[in-house]
Structure formats: C-alpha cells, structure tokens
C-alpha cells in the first residue's frame, strides 16, 4: 500500500491518474474497475452510480458509467477496452459505498478484457504511481481528504 497525501493506493492493481480509476486483472480475462481513494476524496459525496448495461462494448477512454456527485456529474472512463460483464448492484443501490470502500465493496464494474504486458505498461503501478498522482494532486491543490 502506498499513501499519497492521505489517500491509499493498494499495490495489487493498476491505476490511471487522469481518469482516477484502478483496474485489477482477475481470472479468465476479467478486469475489475473502480474509483481511486483520491477520486473518492475529490468527489466527497456520491449520490448515484449509473453503469452501462451488461454486454456493452467499451473502448479505451470511453465511459463505463456515470457518477452523480454533490455538484457535478462525471463519466467513469475505462483505461482498458472490454465488454461490461458485471455491474456492482450494491454501488448502484448505495453509491456512498464507493467513497467508503473504493477498493473493496465500492468497485464499479467488471469487464471482459484481454490483459497483457502492453496494457499493464500503459497504466501506473508501484514505480510510477506516486509521481503521477502527486503531480495530479498538486494541480488540484489537493491537501488530503476532508474529515466528514
């Protein structure tokens, strides 16, 4: 686990700093996608999560769903191409779990996506994670999560 300005980043997954998402490759070409703790800290409060329908083909950089936050609506973009295999119905029913447990029960979707070293090398992992998110946080003047 790496901590950056009070936000946690487990080392068992890959990250995209611009999209504020993580992906974790699993068995049989299934990839789980969720929001980072930094993204959750920026959002502060989640009001709704509307995922794409199961079976929807998603290209790199395209939305797998939409999050309604306190003052805005944001697209959750995928850093990998794939097909929506499963949506987290618990996050749809209780979107606050996205912020409360972004790396556990607050995951967003699962995609069937071929995983290989080329994909892994395009995402952030242990060696590149801290500098990239530190730069993003500096741009936002982010000092750390707000205590609620």
Q: Does the residue 132 lie in any domain?
A: no
Residue 131 in any domain: the answer is no
pLDDT in tens, 40-57: 999 989 999 999 999 999
DSSP secondary structure of 68-99: EESS-EEEEE-SS-EEEEEE-HHHHH-THHHH
Looking at residue 38, which CATH number applies to its domain?
2.40.50.100
Res 97 pLDDT > 70? yes
pTM > 0.85: yes or no: yes
For the chain, the domain total comes to: 1
Closest CA to 93 of 81, 103, 105, 78: 105
User: Cα–Cα distance between 136 and 142 in angstroms, integer?
Assistant: 9
Q: Provide the token pair at 140.
A: 């936002």
Residue whose token pair is 């969720």: 34
Tens-digit pLDDT profile for residues 27-38: 899 999 999 999
pLDDT of residue 121: 85
């Amino acid at each position: 686990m790496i901590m950056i300005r009070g936000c946690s980043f487990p080392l068992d997954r890959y990250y995209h700093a611009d999209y504020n998402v993580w992906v974790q490759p699993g068995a049989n070409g299934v990839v789980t996608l969720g929001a980072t703790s930094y993204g959750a800290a920026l959002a502060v409060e989640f009001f709704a999560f509307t995922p794409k329908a199961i079976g929807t083909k998603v290209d790199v950089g395209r939305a797998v769903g939409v999050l309604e936050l306190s003052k805005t609506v944001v697209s959750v973009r995928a850093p990998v191409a794939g097909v929506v295999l499963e949506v987290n119905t618990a996050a749809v029913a209780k979107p606050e779990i996205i912020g409360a447990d972004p790396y556990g029960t607050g995951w967003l979707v699962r995609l069937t996506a071929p995983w290989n070293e080329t994909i892994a090398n395009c995402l952030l992992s242990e060696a590149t994670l801290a500098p990239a998110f530190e730069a993003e946080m500096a741009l936002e003047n982010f000092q750390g999560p707000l205590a609620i």
